[in-house]
Chain A
Amino acid sequence: MLLSALHPGASARVRSVSAESDAVLRLREMGLHNGVTIRLDLIATGGACIVTVGAARLAIDRATAALIDLDLP
């Protein structure tokens, strides 16, 4: 399942990110890497996904969220 299709409040584990290598690297640098568990908190205005990774919160735009594949628990 893609992050863009996840329901707010649900948690999932990142399986893969199918973006260009630079975007993948940036996501990893921000803590969003394969195997990490994330929770979708809400969809912001404009479509950005607000997710919790560890104790930190990230905003990820809709297009990028559609490149992040997740495994549901």
Chain B
Amino acid sequence: MTAAVARATATVVLVGNPNVGKSTLFNHLTRSRQRVVNAPGTTVSLAHGNWNTPAHLVTLVDLPGTYSLAARSPDEQVAADAVTAGDHDLALVVLDATALSRSLYLLAQVAVADQPVVVALTMVDLARARGLTPDVAALEAALGVPVIPVHGRSGEGAAALAAAIDAALACPSRVRGIDPHEHSECLNDPLTCAEHLFEWVHNVVDAAQPLAPPLPTPADRLDRVLLTSWAGIPIFLAVVWGVFQLTTVVATPLMDGVANLVTGPIARALSGALEAIHTPHWLISLMSDGVLAGVGTVLSFVPLMAIMFAAVGVLEGSGYLARVAVVADRAMRALGLDGRAMLPLIVGFGCNVPALAATAVLPHARQRLLTGLLVPLTTCTARLAIYLMIAHAFFGSRAGTVVFAMYVLSILLVVVWGLIARGPVMRGERPGPLVIALPDYQPPHLRTLGHAVWSRVMSFVTKAGSVILIAVVVLWVAQAVPVRGDHALTDVPVADSVYGAVALATAPVLKPMGVDDWRISAALISGVAAKEVVIGALAQSYALDGDDEASLGEQLRATVHDTSGGHGTTAAVALMVFCLSYLPCLATLAEQRRLFGWRWTALAASAQLFGAYALAVAVFQVGRLL
């Protein structure tokens, strides 16, 4: 018989530089007992996890990686606030054995904040490979707090760390050699403070690490290839191409498979079950064409999001992403972003939703926001189908050139909107000098990767998914409810539905673009749900109200010829320009809301809509004069 032992609760914050193995350690200690929350009043994610040590039920909080408590970004501010607020029992500071002086500086700042500390020492194997193995006993003696070497991937050292945490919670110890009361200058003179703290750092490093030039490692040789122009840029483009392929060629059949499963067998089974219990027809339609269709839309994105999150995790965890920041830095700096922003922007040309997920590669919240607002301007493959249909209908053999021009315009819009938006978004936060640590290359750690993918996908399903579901049901209601004629609910021709009435009412707004026709406005409204349905919506409208003998392209050409007063090709270009950027699809809007909140999402969508309208009107009005 075993006696239950009552364990005390405690909160421990995990503090460390970026890329020191902090999150790997967090995942190992907390396993699946985690939840991701936003830091209060911010969009910065914090992972909370439960860790059972022999004597305590520990709530472990994985703070954003930072080099300093003198914060320069919202992420760093969250870490600094959490440490200095002191709402925890202990700070578990992770020191990187390959960058001891940099890690010790952060530890010194935690000590100035008068926090009880336990140290976890990571990357000891990598330091050993460089001939710079730290002397753990000497380090512990110099610091005066427990120092536990750990290996986040294998879990080696976890038991000793748990014991040290229990001991430190029972009898907290402060870092030796730093008296918080003697460092009052840290509040108003950070440079002088840094001088003093680095004196302490030098003394500790001198005592704990051999003074020798580091030995070369395979990472050095790999960097000679990956960071130089003859190979670095082609390899970077090949990696981005690979991610692009994953989100299109690999993900598309999976997405179709899920969508077909939901709208096919599952929808039939649901309808059959509801009919069997004599459910009214409208309710069956609501459940299968509204709610289930919404659930299907959300679920169909799951494979795509999982693939994207996994790709981002591999690039991040392997150390390659830091090299991307170097290779693409010069190109992205003009927009106020760092080189890593290149990845989400290129992925956006495949699909905007995983591209928004890929903004996680950026280290600062404002950079993620600016990039996330620019992503919808990258023209996704769903929009390509619209360009192809219109370009073939109006430009024949020159269709390829016209479609290419749309991609060039998309890139120009990213640049122009980036230059316009960087002021209000970055709020004077200039891209600082490129000074980044290049972590050693490591193979991805599957368990950590799995945790990250799972928690991010669940966050997408629960937060973005609910918005998508509601929007799809609203669209169903608009199409199911008649505004004229003697139609039964759910059995309404498009033109007589609320949806058709809205399309008819909004069509005149499109007159300055030369395309004021209700079938076009209806298709554009459908395109907000998903760009893939624009052509289907046009075909549906022409099937009800068009020439059965003519193809869709021919019918559209005839319509636009009439609405534009004979300037059909100019109006077609205006329509394509409008389709490029008028509004992102629902899934993109929902993901933007999840990441950045309603305010930024609404502001960006409004700006895009008005910008697209102004541009399309200008194209038509100027074009018809030429």
Contact = CB atoms under 8 A, between A and B. Distances in A.
Nearest to A56: B99
B433 A63 contact: yes
B436 A59 contact: yes
B99 A26 contact: no
B232 A44 contact: yes
A52 interface: yes
Interface in B256-273: none
- The residue among A22, A29, A41, A42 with the most chain B CB atoms within 10 A of its own CB is A29
Given A42-B227, A46-B327, A52 B214 contact: yes
Given A47-B330, A55-B127, A41 B213 contact: no
A29 B436 CA distance: 11
Given A33-B198, A45-B227, A50-B227, A60 B233 contact: no
A23 B432 CA distance: 8
Nearest to A37: B213
A48 B322 CA distance: 13
B225 to A, nearest CB: 10
- The residue among A39, A57, A60 with the most chain B CB atoms within 10 A of its own CB is A57
B326 interface: yes
B329 interface: yes
B99 A31 contact: yes
Interface in B197-235: 198, 205, 209, 213-214, 219-220, 223-224, 227-229, 232-233
A28 B229 contact: no
Interface stretch (B67-75, B418-426, B596-604): B67-75
Report, as a range, how many residues of chain B touch the other chain: 35 or more
B223 A29 contact: no
Given A26-B72, A44-B326, A55-B127, A31 B432 contact: no
B190 interface: yes
A28 B437 contact: no
Contacts of B205: 54
B432 A59 contact: no
B329 A25 contact: no
Interface residues of A, number: 37
Given A11-B213, A46-B329, A59-B322, A26 B433 contact: yes
A54 B214 contact: yes
A64 B325 CA distance: 16
Contacts of A47: 330
Contact of B67 (A29, A50, A53): A29
A6 interface: no
B526 interface: no
A61 B96 CA distance: 24
Contact of A28 (B98, B198, B209, B438): B198
A45 B327 contact: yes
A64 B214 contact: no
Given A42-B224, A45-B228, A55-B130, A31 B101 contact: yes
A58 B17 CA distance: 14
A2 interface: no
Given A31-B102, A54-B100, A48 B437 contact: no
A17 to B, nearest CB: 11
B435 interface: yes
Interface in B316-368: 322, 325-327, 329-330
Contacts of B97: 55
Nearest to B97: A55
Nearest to B328: A46
A44 B324 CA distance: 11
Nearest to B130: A55
A29 B194 contact: yes
Contacts of A60: 433-435
Contacts of A29: 67-68, 70, 102, 105-106, 194
Contacts of A52: 214
Contact of B435 (A33, A41, A59): A59
Contacts of A36: 101
A45 B437 CA distance: 16
A30 interface: yes
A32 B327 CA distance: 22
A50 to B, nearest CB: 6
Contacts of B6: none
A9 B462 CA distance: 52
- The residue among A27, A31, A41, A53 with the most chain B CB atoms within 10 A of its own CB is A31
B223 A24 contact: no
Contacts of B98: 54-56
Interface in B404-436: 432-436
B191 interface: yes
A46 B512 CA distance: 45
A57 B438 contact: yes
B326 to A, nearest CB: 5
B132 interface: yes
A48 B105 contact: no
Contacts of A30: 67, 102, 435, 437
Interface of B: 67-68, 70, 72, 96-102, 105-106, 126-127, 130, 132, 190-191, 194, 198, 205, 209, 213-214, 219-220, 223-224, 227-229, 232-233, 322, 325-327, 329-330, 432-438
List of 9 A-B pairs having minimum Cβ-Cβ separation, nearest first: A56-B99, A45-B229, A61-B434, A44-B227, A64-B433, A46-B330, A57-B438, A55-B98, A31-B102
Given A25-B70, A27-B435, A41-B220, 13 more contacts: A29-B106, A30-B102, A30-B437, A31-B99, A45-B232, A45-B233, A46-B326, A54-B99, A54-B205, A55-B97, A55-B100, A64-B434, A64-B435
17 contacts: A22-B432, A25-B191, A25-B194, A26-B67, A26-B72, A26-B435, A29-B106, A29-B194, A31-B99, A31-B101, A53-B101, A54-B101, A55-B126, A55-B130, A55-B214, A56-B102, A56-B437
